[in-house]
Chains A and B, each alone.
Chain A
Amino acid sequence: MSFIEFVSKNYNEILKSLVRHIELVGISILIGILISIPLGIFLTRHKRVAGPVLALAGTIQTIPGLVMLGFALVLIGIGMLPAIIVLTLYAILPILRNTYTGITEVDKSYTEASRGIGMTNMQTLFKVEIPIALPTIITGIRLSTVYIVSWATLAGLIGAGGLGDLIWTGLSTYNTKYILAGAVPSAILAFILNGLIGLLERILTPRGLRRSRI
């Protein structure tokens, strides 16, 4: 049985896993964004806590995914919820760090001008700092997304489903077609999402801020 035949035969199962995978990635990135961007902005206003918080987020990042999933399994059980919690934790750092550095690195002349001409702190944030930092922030989201697409394959281990399910099934039964059926779509997914978010970044970057890219 060729790989193509395998795919057409297990089409539904693969599609279901893919959809679940996208759900896992989408939800955790979304929650990650909702946490990291406000937190990152908060840290730029409270630089003294920024160091410790970024260090903590960095430490979380270094804990191996399997260990984290193990904790989640013990503490919360199986299913989508623990998987999403773990993935969200991983999604936070790149977005948080890029939000923080993106805004911190906005040239002082812009913020000084905005204050000097009478913008409130909020206006400075929304009209000047965030728009200028936006490309950096979106880059953080892109990094997180690519990263979470691959981490999400581990979620299958704690019964959250997704493309990881196929891979683990394949690994435990020595069935390379299962492995490929999980690995290939997740690679393509990462590739496509990377491209889409990159495109979004370009669209959202005002002409005045576009630099030639490497």
Chain B
Amino acid sequence: MIKFQNVSKCYGHTAILKNISFDIKQGEFVVLIGPSGCGKTTTLKTINRLIEPDNGKIFIDGKDITKANPVELRRTIGYVIQQIGLFPNMTVEQNISIVPKLLKYPKQKCQEIVQDLLALVDMPYEENAHKYPTELSGGQQQRIGVLRALAASPPIILMDEPFGALDPITRDSLQEEIKRIQKKLKKTIVFVTHDMDEALRLADTIIFMNNGKIVQMASPEEMLQNPADSIIKSFLGKHMDNGNGVPKLFAEDFMKTKVFKVPRTSRTLECIKLMSSKDVNSLVVLNDDDTYLGTVSIEDIKALGKPGKEIAELVTNDVITVSRKEGAQIAFDKLLSSKSNYVIVLNDNQTVAGLITRTSMAKALGEALWGEVL
């Protein structure tokens, strides 16, 4: 989707970007991170041609971006900046619909876009559309900043430390929202930050830069396990175990992904058959949209179930759930203090990622002590 080919940029005699090459896939959430002044913003701005590189080429969907008209190019790429930059002379509605208007969308369509987008971030249209930016909180302003970038449905969105100026709680919820929106709308996002927590939370791929070069480009897990450089280790900081090289582990590192799941509409008999054929004594029950509903055990079915009954009626919720990015230690604590033999690991979107059983925990502890055990 976005391809950098030996991109360089100098200011005077100082090289700011040194021969940068990378590939970003469609739908990928890429986070650029690195120390201040390492060239993150410069890299980002070369994508929408706010900065022109001296050397090298950048392609979007295989097309050299220098062949496109920069103004038209920018209208197809969302852009969110740290200072938010909502136009103070325009209302929320006018701010959001500015790019659709530049693209000459009909009025009706512009208004629909604004309504849909405001709904996406839970800001009711009636209440917010006619406010001016100064009448919103910082977090609300940046939500509108994000919506402005989304308005003309660009496939790519560039974000330069968009949440850097927000308080931690607001930042958390905006991070969650942007991740959700990215998944839902399948956007390719290039996101600049200098906060490793943020990078680990959001990224599919992290690009770590230093001194105008890419030090490492890897998934968060990979970067945690094999940081390519001491500067990356120092950025990972608290995510590493006091620098002894043992990366911090998450629930997802120990879970079994083979989970027997049934839809809520399954009948009791089918469930019993499944359990006996797979030799398990409980099943995970899913809602219609694949999100986690609860579990059902063979005892419950035997005690309460009538043949042909919908399984949803027997579902219980006493099994504890953790998110896949929950620290492994916390997940273990929860498992040990729970009555059941396992905890369910959920993805951010509440679908089931896997489960951690007492056995898989014991195995993990064994590995930590003695290395790989079979």
Contacts and interface: CB of A to CB of B under 8 A. Distances in A.
- Asked if chains A and B come from one complex, the reply is yes
Interface of A: 107, 109-110, 112-120, 123, 127-128, 131-132, 206-209
Contact of B87 (A113, A115, A116, A118): A113
21 contacts: A107-B83, A109-B84, A109-B85, A112-B81, A112-B83, A113-B85, A113-B86, A116-B48, A116-B79, A116-B85, A117-B149, A119-B71, A119-B98, A123-B102, A128-B87, A132-B88, A206-B89, A206-B90, A206-B132, A208-B134, A209-B89
Interface in B115-154: 132-135, 148-149
Measured as residues with beta carbon below 8 angstroms from the partner, the interface class of chain B is: 20 to 34
The 8 closest A-B pairs by CB, nearest first: A208-B132, A113-B85, A109-B83, A118-B74, A118-B75, A116-B79, A131-B89, A109-B85
Contacts of B112: none
Contacts of B74: 115-118
Contact of A208 (B72, B133, B149): B133
Given A116-B85, A127-B87, 11 more contacts: A113-B81, A113-B84, A117-B98, A117-B148, A118-B72, A127-B98, A132-B89, A208-B90, A208-B133, A208-B135, A209-B88
B307 to A, nearest CB: 61
Contacts of B99: 117-118
Instruction: Report whether over half of chain A's contact residues are helix, strand or loop; otherwise say mixed.
Output: helix
B91 interface: yes
A113 B89 contact: no
Contacts of B102: 117-119, 123
A132 B76 CA distance: 26
Contacts of B181: none
Contacts of A119: 71, 98, 102
B88 A116 contact: no
B50 interface: yes
A107 to B, nearest CB: 8
B91 A208 contact: yes
A105 B153 CA distance: 32
Contact of A113 (B72, B79, B132, B135): B79
Contacts, number: 76
Of A118, A120, A132, A208, chain B has the most CB atoms within 10 Å of the CB of A118
Nearest to B101: A127
Interface in B310-343: none
Contacts of B87: 110, 113-114, 127-128, 131-132
B78 to A, nearest CB: 8
B71 A116 contact: no
Contacts of A131: 87, 89
Given A115-B50, A116-B79, A117-B98, A208 B84 contact: no
Contacts of B50: 112, 115-116
Interface in B59-80: 71-76, 78-79
B208 to A, nearest CB: 24
Given A123-B102, A128-B87, A128-B89, A116 B81 contact: yes
B292 to A, nearest CB: 39
A115 to B, nearest CB: 6
A17 B226 CA distance: 88
A119 B73 CA distance: 11
A208 B99 CA distance: 20
Of A109, A117, A127, chain B has the most CB atoms within 10 Å of the CB of A117
Of B72, B83, B84, B87, chain A has the most CB atoms within 10 Å of the CB of B87
A116 B72 CA distance: 11
Contacts of B133: 208
A208 B89 contact: yes
Nearest to A132: B89
Contacts of B135: 208
B238 to A, nearest CB: 32
Contacts of B88: 110, 132, 206, 208-209
Contacts of B89: 128, 131-132, 206, 208-209
